[in-house]
Amino acid sequence: MKHDVLEPRFVKAVPCDLEPGVLYVSMQYGTVVHSCCCGCGFEVVTPLTPTDWRLTFDGESVSLWPSVGSWNLPCQSHYVIENNRVREALQWSTARIEAERTRDGQVKAKFYARQAAIEAIDAPVIAPVPPCPEVRPTGLLAKVRRWIF
């Protein structure tokens, strides 16, 4: 790996030009972006979602889990970012990459189907409100008014 340590930089939005060796963390957009650690210069985007990556920040360093596998890039780099350090991971076979893509798709489908079901259950039921009955004053003055008018 060309970069074995990354500097975490918490930003509102990720810049267009990525500085090598910098891990851009945008909590507002729920994403972590960096230039590939192998040095190829390609942008690596790791979305922070319940079914994608998780970011841990201990006040000084960041860790990203699971590993970063750049399977769509020519370099196909594979590494783990832990406490700002980059550890090279074993290369995966094409079969293992495809199996992981399939598993990932199934996990996402199951998670978002469950979320949709929860939202449907939690949706408020809006029932029509019956009209209020007319309230007529019943005192002596009210009776006199009704008799006169």
Q: What is the pLDDT of residues 27-63, one digit of tens each?
A: 999 999 999 999 999 999 999 999 999 999 999 999 9
Confidence of residue 70 (pLDDT cuts 50, 70, 90): very high
CA distance 58 to 68: 20
Mean pLDDT value of segment 64-89:
96
Task: Work out the mean pLDDT of the chain and round it to a whole number.
Answer: 90
Structure tokens given for 19: 């500085």
Per-residue pLDDT at 125: 66
pTM of the model as a whole: 0.75
Structure tokens given for 51: 């079914």
**DSSP for residue 83:** T
